[in-house]
Amino acid sequence: MSLTLDPRQRAMLAEIGVRVWLPETGDAEAPAYAVEEDTFSDAPVAAAAPVARPVERPPVQAPVASVRGEVAGLDWPTLESAVASCQACGLCQSRKNTVFGVGHTQARWMIVGEAPGENEDLQGEPFVGAAGQLLDNMLKAIELKPESDVYVTNVVKCRPPERHPSAEEVIACRPFLDRELALTGATMAITFGQFAARGLMMGPASRGKVMRYNQLSVVATYHPDDLLRKPEDKAKAWGDLCLAKASHA
């Protein structure tokens, strides 16, 4: 799997720390962007969402079926308002802000993270700070403009404090993600982080292949925070991005 790279793209890749094999130099190294199979755990979402410490959760405020029915008919403004006032799971009690998606409302590409972190919770936006900067550079490297070609969101819209979201929270928030998918009409999703992949797929997810979720083609890769902590995985992330781009040219 490869893309033809011009000098500008190579510069962008250098910026995010990806080494690219240059055939014209005769470099004998294997291509840095070779796609490798790297299967996330096959455990389903329910079992794969560890809770770091016991959390007392209030009862769910509204039945999921009811929420889903109400959300299915919302437009963008009313959907954002519904998220802002949502109390459908216990995360409403500890959040500072809900974190609604940002980007083009009719984007073909959906960027999906797991859940807001501390900074996202404070600022009310997904993928901020160094992780957001790296995400932008990763998207630009495959010629996607963050401001016009993608819509960026999370599986759950409120921050789980110091843990991954539980299966109950993923399910409670699902109507909002499904409505974002429907309103954008996106046909390609890249998930960032293994819990985002499992959360979107509602089950097992693997890197290194194109998965399907309804109308969506889905490719999983590493979360920018993980790449900042472990830069040696950037080459594999580049392979994932190439796979997504090639499957959705």
Task: Tell me which residues touch ligand SF4 (CB under 6 A).
Answer: 83, 86-89, 91-92, 98, 156-158, 169, 172-173
- Shortest distance in whole angstroms from residue 75 CB to ligand SF4: 17
Alpha carbon distance 209, 205 (integer Å): 9
- Shortest distance in whole angstroms from residue 157 CB to ligand SF4: 4
Tell me phi and psi for residue 9, to 5 degrees.
-65, -40
For 130-153, the DSSP string reads: HHHHHHHHHHHHTT--TTTTEEEE
Nearer to ligand SF4, 31 or 117 (CB): 117
- What amino acid is encoded at 33 in this protein? Y
- Shortest distance in whole angstroms from residue 86 CB to ligand SF4: 3
Look at the alpha carbons of 118, 124, 127, 132 in this order and tell me if their dihedral is positive or negative.
negative
- Shortest distance in whole angstroms from residue 132 CB to ligand SF4: 20
Nearer to ligand SF4, 97 or 187 (CB): 97
Nearer to ligand SF4, 35 or 74 (CB): 74
Q: With beta carbons less than 8 A apart as the criterion, state whether 197 and 191 touch.
A: yes
Q: With beta carbons less than 8 A apart as the criterion, state whether 198 and 48 touch.
A: yes
Nearer to ligand SF4, 88 or 211 (CB): 88
